[in-house]
Amino acid sequence: MATLELNGLGHVYENGHVGLSGIELNIRDGEFLALLGPSGSGKTTLLRTIAGFLRPTSGSLAIDGKTMAGEGTWVPPEKRGLGMVFQDHAIWPHLNVAGNVGYPLKLAGVPKTQLNGRVAEVLEQVGLAEYARRKPSALSGGQRQRVALARAIIASPKALLLDEALSALDEPLRARLRLELRALTREEGLTAVHVTHDRAEALGLADRVAVLRDGMIQQVGTPAELLETPVNSFVASFVSDATLFPGTLVDGNFHADHPGLRLPMGSGSQRNHGTRLIGQPLASGSRSRRAVAAVAPTSVRLKPAGSPIHVDNLAGGPLARVTSALYGRHGYETSLDWAGATLRVLVTGWTPKEGDMVRPLVDQAHVFCEEAGAVQGRAA
Amino acid sequence: MSTHTLDKAAVAQKAATDRASSAGCDTAAPKPPRRGGRPGDGLSVLRTVVWVLMALVVGLPLAALVFQGVQPAARQVFGDPAVAVAAINSVASALGSALLATLAGAVLAVLLERCNIPSRNVLRWLVLLPFLIPPFIGAMSWMALLGANGPVNKALQGLGIDAKLSIFGGWGVVFLLAVHSYPMAYLVIAATLRRIPGNLEEAARISGAGTSQVLGTVLLPLLRPGLLAAFVLTLVANLSDFGIPALIGLPERYTTLTTLVYRYLASSTTSNPLPAVAAIGLLLLVLAVLVVLAQRKLPADTQLGSGPVGQRLSLGGVRIPLTVLLWVSTIIICLVPLFALASQALLPAPGVPLTWENLSMENIVRVATSAGAISGIENSLRLAGGAAVCCTVLGLGIALLLTRGKHRSNTALDVSATLPQALPGLVIAVGWLLIAPMLGIFNTPWVILGAYVMAFLALVVQSVRAPLASVSSTLEEAARSSGASPLRALLDVTTRLAAPAALTGGVVVLLTAVRELTISILLVAPGTQTLGVSIFNLQQAGDYGGASALALLVAMAGILGLSATAALANRRANN
CB < 8 Å to B308, chain A? none
**Nearest residue to A105 via CA among A88, A121, A118:** A118
A306 has pLDDT over 70:
no
Maximum CA pair distance of chain B?
Answer: 84
User: Which stretch, A314-318, B23-27, B42-46, has highest mean pLDDT?
Assistant: B42-46
Is beta strand A300-304 parallel, antiparallel or unpaired with respect to A357-362?
A: antiparallel
Nearest to B199 among A86, A107, A137 (CB): A86
Give residue A31's pLDDT. 93
- Mutual orientation of helices B120-127 and B81-114 as an angle, nearest 10°? 170
Q: With an 8 Å Cβ cutoff, are B209 and A93 in contact?
A: no
Give residue A270's pLDDT. 41
Give residue B104's pLDDT. 95
Give residue A103's pLDDT. 92
> Taking residues B74-91, what's their average pLDDT?
86
Secondary structure (3-state) at B161: coil
Q: With an 8 Å Cβ cutoff, are A86 and B203 in contact?
A: yes
Nearest-by-CA chain A residue for B199: A90
| C-alpha–C-alpha distance, residues B144 and B131, integer Å | 19
Nearest to A107 among B209, B306, B307 (CB): B209
> Taking residues B58-72, what's their average pLDDT?
88
Nearest to A90 among B203, B217, B303 (CB): B203
Sign of CA dihedral B488, B489, B492, B498: negative
Range in A318-332, B162-176, B304-318, B370-384 with the lowest mean pLDDT: B304-318
Give CA A21 to chain center in angstroms: 18
B450 has pLDDT over 60:
yes
Q: What is the pLDDT of residues B327-342, one digit of tens each?
A: 999 999 888 888 888 8
Nearest to A151 among B207, B209, B224 (CB): B207
Q: What is the pLDDT of residues B407-449, one digit of tens each?
A: 788 888 887 887 888 788 888 988 998 888 888 787 888 999 9
Q: With an 8 Å Cβ cutoff, are A151 and B197 in contact?
A: no
Compute the residue count for chain A: 380
Give residue B46's pLDDT. 84
Give residue B97's pLDDT. 96
Give residue B204's pLDDT. 92
φ, ψ of residue B410 in degrees (nearest 5): -65, -40
Q: With an 8 Å Cβ cutoff, are A155 and B304 in contact?
A: no
Contact B468, B400 (CB under 8 A): yes
Query: Between A102 and B79, where is the model more confident?
Result: A102
Give residue A274's pLDDT. 58
| C-alpha–C-alpha distance, residues A231 and A213, integer Å | 13
Residues of B with CB under 8 A from a CB of A: 197, 199-200, 202-210, 213, 217-218, 221-222, 224, 302-307, 311
Q: With an 8 Å Cβ cutoff, are B209 and A92 in contact?
A: no
The per-residue pLDDT of chain A, averaged, comes to 83
B357 has pLDDT over 90:
no
> Taking residues B238-265, what's their average pLDDT?
88
Chain B closest CA to A348's CA: distance in Å? 42
Give residue B1's pLDDT. 38
Q: With an 8 Å Cβ cutoff, are B205 and A83 in contact?
A: no
Q: With an 8 Å Cβ cutoff, are A78 and B207 in contact?
A: yes
Nearest to B311 among A53, A88, A108 (CB): A53
> Taking residues A107-128, what's their average pLDDT?
91
The secondary structure element, H or E, covering residue B94 is: helix B81-114
| C-alpha–C-alpha distance, residues B415 and B417, integer Å | 5
Q: Select the residue from A48, A80, A92, A164 to test the B interface by mutation, using most B Cβ atoms within 10 A.
A: A92
Instruction: Report the share of chain B in percent with pLDDT over 90.
Output: 15
CB < 8 Å to B224, chain A? 94
CB < 8 Å to B192, chain A? none
Q: Select the residue from B195, B206, B218 to test the A interface by mutation, using most A Cβ atoms within 10 A.
A: B206
Query: Between A376 and B267, where is the model more confident?
Result: B267
At A351, is the pLDDT very low, low, confident or very high (cuts 50, 70, 90)?
A: confident
Contact A48, A68 (CB under 8 A): no
Q: With an 8 Å Cβ cutoff, are A89 and B305 in contact?
A: yes
> Taking residues B267-273, what's their average pLDDT?
69
CB < 8 Å to B204, chain A? 92, 103
Residues of A with CB under 8 A from a CB of B: 51-53, 76-84, 86-90, 92-94, 103-104, 107-108, 137, 148, 151-152, 155, 161
At B452, is the pLDDT very low, low, confident or very high (cuts 50, 70, 90)?
A: very high
Which residues does A147 contact at the CB level (< 8 Å), separation at least 6?
Answer: A89, A91, A97, A100, A101, A126, A128, A131, A136, A139
Q: What is the CATH number that goes with domain B70-360?
A: 1.10.3720.10
**Per-domain boundaries in chain A:** 4-228, 233-373
Chain B closest CA to A141's CA: distance in Å? 12
| C-alpha–C-alpha distance, residues B44 and B411, integer Å | 16
Is beta strand A66-70 parallel, antiparallel or unpaired with respect to A58-63?
A: antiparallel
Give residue A277's pLDDT. 65
Nearest-by-CA chain B residue for A82: B206
| C-alpha–C-alpha distance, residues B531 and A228, integer Å | 82
CB < 8 Å to B206, chain A? 51-52, 77-78, 80, 82-84, 152, 161
The per-residue pLDDT of chain B, averaged, comes to 81
Q: With an 8 Å Cβ cutoff, are B206 and A87 in contact?
A: no
| Identity of the residue numbered A45 | T
| C-alpha–C-alpha distance, residues A225 and A289, integer Å | 26
- B443 burial class (0-12, 13-18, 19+ CB within 10 angstroms)? middle
At A316, is the pLDDT very low, low, confident or very high (cuts 50, 70, 90)?
A: low
Give CA B543 to chain center in angstroms: 28
Query: Between B259 and B470, where is the model more confident?
Result: B259
Q: With an 8 Å Cβ cutoff, are B206 and A76 in contact?
A: no
Q: What is the pLDDT of residues A245-279, one digit of tens each?
A: 888 877 767 788 888 777 755 433 444 445 666 65
Q: With an 8 Å Cβ cutoff, are A80 and B221 in contact?
A: no
CB < 8 Å to A115, chain B? none
- Mutual orientation of helices B81-114 and B170-194 as an angle, nearest 10°? 40
Nearest to A107 among B197, B213, B222 (CB): B213
- Mutual orientation of helices B60-69 and B425-439 as an angle, nearest 10°? 100
Q: With an 8 Å Cβ cutoff, are A88 and B307 in contact?
A: yes
Nearest to A137 among B218, B303, B306 (CB): B303
| Identity of the residue numbered B55 | A
Query: Between B407 and B307, where is the model more confident?
Result: B407
Give residue B298's pLDDT. 65
Q: What is the pLDDT of residues B173-223, one digit of tens each?
A: 999 999 999 998 998 888 888 888 888 888 999 998 888 888 889 889 988
Q: What is the pLDDT of residues B528-550, one digit of tens each?
A: 888 888 888 888 888 888 888 88
Which residues does B286 contact at the CB level (< 8 Å), separation at least 6?
Answer: none
A51 has pLDDT over 50:
yes
**Nearest residue to A216 via CA among A18, A39, A47, A20:** A20
Query: Between B291 and A347, where is the model more confident?
Result: A347
Could you tell me which CATH class the domain A4-228 is placed in?
Answer: alpha beta
| C-alpha–C-alpha distance, residues B310 and B455, integer Å | 38
Range in A191-200, A212-221, B419-428 with the lowest mean pLDDT: B419-428
Query: Between B35 and B514, where is the model more confident?
Result: B514
